[in-house]
Amino acid sequence: MASKLSLLCAAATAVGMLLPQVASTAAAKGPETVLYRFGSKPDGRAPSGMIDVNGRFYGTTSFGGSGCKGFGCGTAFEVDPATGAERVLYSFCEKSQKKICTDGNVPEGGLVVWKGKLYGETELGGAYQAGTVFSFDLKTGREKIVHSFCAQGCADGSYPDGGLTLAGGILYGTTPFGGAYDKGTIFSVDPATGEETVLYSFCGQQGCADGDLPSGGLLNVNGTLYGATGRAGANCPNSMECGTLYSFDLNTGVETTLYSFCSQPDCADGNEPASGLVQLGSILYGATVAGGAHHNGGTVFAFDPA
């Protein structure tokens, strides 16, 4: 399947990095306007993953807020694009028991919306200190933990950080650790019941040919989830490098490795995919943090899953 992957750029700089500020750009041309600058503890730091809900922007910051005794363990926020006004909806780690942030700590990956509620992940915190899926009710202002990871030896996954994808009223995501082999999972959560199901545990194949350390979240295309792992694959058995592209069919429950990186000499095709995938037409696009033809500086790639 190597012929299906092509490189667009041999140096991927700042792809997938968190934005330090909220900004707008006028279509294809015109000046950029900064709507809001983050930085003070109460309003949060390191924002990511904004979505538009009824003309307002919603997102999370990994740090800042009033939790953690003022140090800041992240926030959920709202920005009015008309005025640039920012409002903190929730500060994580406001609820703690025996120094455990039961309401979550360090939200990552942005938000999705379903039936008037925002859903997201925290990488840390929760009942077992291994991350959560949470909801925030836009009407009541109430934050609720939908699932706490690592309940039973972390077979359900741990430390989610790639964000959630919504398909058919069910939330889907990945964890970089945990699962049957402690190499990461694809999971689903029913927002109505909070039931979490591990759909796939990585590294079930010899040498982790199916990949290790899933990262960057999932892309839903007509009932098929696409994602990447940052390590292992057919070309680097049990390695801390290389990585894969994979698909997961929601109808059949089958995971398929689509491409193993470092298929070319010196990993000219890329090494360690880290950002999420995006779709344009029928083509998937992503980035690797290493590999490529220029000084191991990373790549931007295109992949045809057909």
> Which of 200 and 26 is assigned the larger pLDDT?
200
- DSSP one-letter string for the chain: -GGGEEEEES---STTPPPSEEEEE-TTSS-EEEEEE--SGGG-EEEEEEEEETTEEEEEEEEBSSTGGGT-B-EEEEE-TTT--EEEEEETTSSEETTEETT-EEEEEEEEEETTEEEEEEEE-STTSS-EEEEEETTT--EEEEEES-SSTTTT-B---S--EEETTEEEEEESB-TTTTS-EEEEE-TTT--EEEEEES--SGGGTT-EEEEEEEEEETTEEEEEEEEB-TTSTT-SSB-EEEEEETTT--EEEEEES--SGGGTT-EEE-SPPEEETTEEEEEEEE-SSSTT--EEEEE---
Residue-wise pLDDT tens digits, 224-252: 999 999 999 999 988 889 999 999 999 99
CATH (domain of 63)? 2.120.10.30
Q: Residue 70's pLDDT is what?
A: 59
Residue-wise pLDDT tens digits, 261-306: 999 999 999 999 988 899 999 999 999 999 998 888 899 999 999 8
Choose one of 164, 179, 201: the last residue of a domain: 201
Q: Residue 26's pLDDT is what?
A: 41
Residue 25, in any domain of the structure: no
Structural domain containing residue 2: 1-16+202-306
Residue 290, in any domain of the structure: yes
What mean pLDDT comes out for the span 86-99?
Answer: 86
Check whether 13 has a pLDDT greater than 60.
no
Residue 10: pLDDT band (50, 70, 90) is: low
Same domain (yes/no): 236, 138:
no
What's the structural domain count of the chain?
A: 2
Same domain (yes/no): 131, 253:
no
Residue 29, in any domain of the structure: no
Same domain (yes/no): 143, 94:
yes
Check whether 180 has a pLDDT greater than 80.
yes
Choose one of 201, 224, 258: the last residue of a domain: 201
Percentage of the chain surpassing pLDDT 70?
Answer: 90
